[in-house]
Amino acid sequence: MNGMLDIELIGIIVGAVMTLMILSYIFTDSFLYRWALALLVGSSVGYALGIVIRFVLLPWFTLALGQEDLAQRLFFAIPLFLGILLLLKGFTPSGALGRIAVLGNISMGFLIGVGAAIAISGALTGTLIPQVWATGQSVTFPTLLTGAVMVVGTITSLLVFSPRQRADAGEVRPVMLWLHRIGRFFIVTALAVAFVGTITSALTTLVMRVWQIASGLMGG
């Protein structure tokens, strides 16, 4: 029992030290922050790779090798072929195998196309259409005002990333200029809220780590 408590306490201490190393970036870009970030990214990639091998690749190979029909085996071979082509993107253009690296664009284009289609359809069916439908069902002044702010914020934020329309005299049109300013205001506000949420989460994690260490040292 004491051994389990010691291991748990060591884990809490290591977590608190890693949290402090990450938070050291607030003061300066030190090697402690870079080391902790590299450890975080490396462990995350290793964990994700292990999950993919254990729960995706091994079952997929088991199903592929268990098929008796040649057509079904060819069906399972298509993802393997696209994956091999995607690995070719790792070769530099100046290397010996740089000429065949362009074949990886086939898999890359397939991934981008499917990903964009899923993202657009998910945004329409899961966010935009339900929000419009819900807003139309309960049309009151507060909901109408909230919906108007959301519509204005969305449209003006999208206009910030579009080319500015210019008049014949070569100057920016006043309407577009104000729309760009309103869009930048919404973007800055959203980024500020996200940044505050990130800092608050980090400080909350640090306080929890310190409290766990204090409770473990006091025997609570």
pLDDT at 136: 66
**What does the DSSP 8-state code read for residue 207?**
H
Kindly tell me the burial class for residue 101, based on how many C-beta atoms sit within 10 Å of its own C-beta (0-12, 13-18, 19 or more): middle
- Stated length of the chain: 220
Q: What is the DSSP string of 149-217?
A: HHHHHHHHHHHHTSPPPB-TTSSB-HHHHHHHHHHHHHHHHHHHHHHHHHHHHHHHHHHHHHHHHHHHH
List the structure tokens of 90. 């790792």
pLDDT at 46: 93
The tens digit of pLDDT for each residue in 4-45 reads 556 777 777 787 788 788 777 778 778 888 888 888 889 999
- Answer whether 0.85 is exceeded by the pTM: no
More confident of the two residues 97 and 59: 59
pLDDT band at 169 (very low <50, low <70, confident <90, very high): very low
Task: Report residue 118: phi and psi, to 5°.
Answer: -65, -40
d(CA 216, CA 6): 9
d(CA 198, CA 38): 19
**What does the DSSP 8-state code read for residue 46?**
H
108 C-beta neighbours (distance < 10 Å), count: 14
Window from 24-28, 77-81, 117-121 with minimum mean pLDDT: 24-28
pLDDT at 188: 93
User: What's the whole-number mean pLDDT along residues 55-78?
Assistant: 83
Tell me if 189 sits within 8 A of 218, measured CB to CB. Answer: no
On average, the pLDDT of the chain sits at 80
User: What's the whole-number mean pLDDT along residues 120-142?
Assistant: 75
Find the helix or strand (DSSP H, E) in which 25 lies.
Answer: none
Window from 4-18, 112-126, 183-197 with minimum mean pLDDT: 4-18
d(CA 112, CA 82): 13
Tell me if 25 sits within 8 A of 208, measured CB to CB. Answer: no
d(CA 152, CA 33): 40
The tens digit of pLDDT for each residue in 149-164 reads 888 888 888 888 876 5
Percent of the chain with pLDDT over 90: 9
Nearest residue to 151 via CA among 181, 191, 186, 121 = 186
Residue 196, pLDDT above cutoff 80 = yes
